[in-house]
Amino acid sequence: MRIGDFVFVTQGRNAQSRPLRGLEHDWSTVDRQAIVHAISVKRRRRSIGWVQKKALFSGGRIVAAALITGGARRIGRALALALAEEGWDLAIHYRTSAADAQKTVDDARALGVSATMFEGDLGDPATIESLVDSSYASFPELRLLINNASLFPLGALADTTLEQWDRVMDVNLRAPFALTQNFARVVESGSVINLLDAAVNRGRTSFVAYSVSKAGLELLTRVAARELAPSIRVNAIAPGPVLPPPGKDEEHLKNVARRTPMGTPVAVEDIVAAMRYLVETESVTGHVMYVDAGEHLVGGSPLGGSP
């Protein structure tokens, strides 16, 4: 428990809540039979990490906001709604999935938070330049950036054109770099989470541009973590076979997952749990969390699902 947390102190039939501040030095004032429980403002709020210190509290819920690129579908949507369940306001970025983005925004609002959608191509410098500023204008309590959006094109070294290479690098690497720059410029404190790939260090020869872009994002995670500490923490999640790639079905996903040490697909809920851990744990920065059923431990190129 941290100073400033609240506890319930139960003594016989008399129960009261009191700040933890002061109790850490003089536990003699509390009966030895007292039951001390850390309580949360809402579900799973045992620890809110840096948000607990920096965010404002209003009406019994946390007032803090997150910007999620590619937040309309797949992993991005799951992360967005998990944050909404805990009281986070949301800035949902999308490129072409307007209907999916609206559905995610509507579902978040149904959970009692504010949510807004922002359209933009992350390959366009104008989008990168304006996205953080627009999100911050809508949500001055912006505290979290999740760089989730990415392109996943098939293409070996011999087949990839310079135009294709540049397009992937612009969206998968340049955009997270610039968004992190802008995020650090407008917020006093917060956290950045980058979505990588469990196979990032093996190099998928049939996805050369994608593989190199994700390897670059891994290095950017560590560099940014060093430069932006202590006010901003930067971490990454490297999913394994969690969802079928576009055009593939669940059977394909199961076949891919059988080649991992665990032998089963990764649950989306496990990616959400990793996000929660990285948001809540103040001492972690520059870390890549593999949530991949052990895929990064095996050789070859299993080709799991894309974010």
Residue numbers annotated as active site: 210
Strand, helix or coil at 289?
strand
Q: Which among 152, 146, 213, 231 is positioned nearest to 180, based on CA atoms?
A: 146
Give Cβ neighbours of residue 36 (< 8 Å, ≥ 6 apart): 7, 8, 9, 30
DSSP type of residue 141? T
Answer left, alpha or beta for residue 198, where phi above 0 means left and psi between -120 and 50 means alpha: alpha
CB atoms within 10 A of CB 121: 15
What tokens appear for 58 in the block? Answer: 């209003």
Return phi, psi of residue 208, to 5°. Answer: -65, -45
d(C-alpha 102, C-alpha 92), whole Å:
9
Q: Taking phi first (over 0 means left), then psi (-120 to 50 degrees means alpha), and beta for anything else, what does residue 211 get?
A: alpha
- Number of alpha carbons in the 13 Å side-chain half-sphere of residue 246: 8
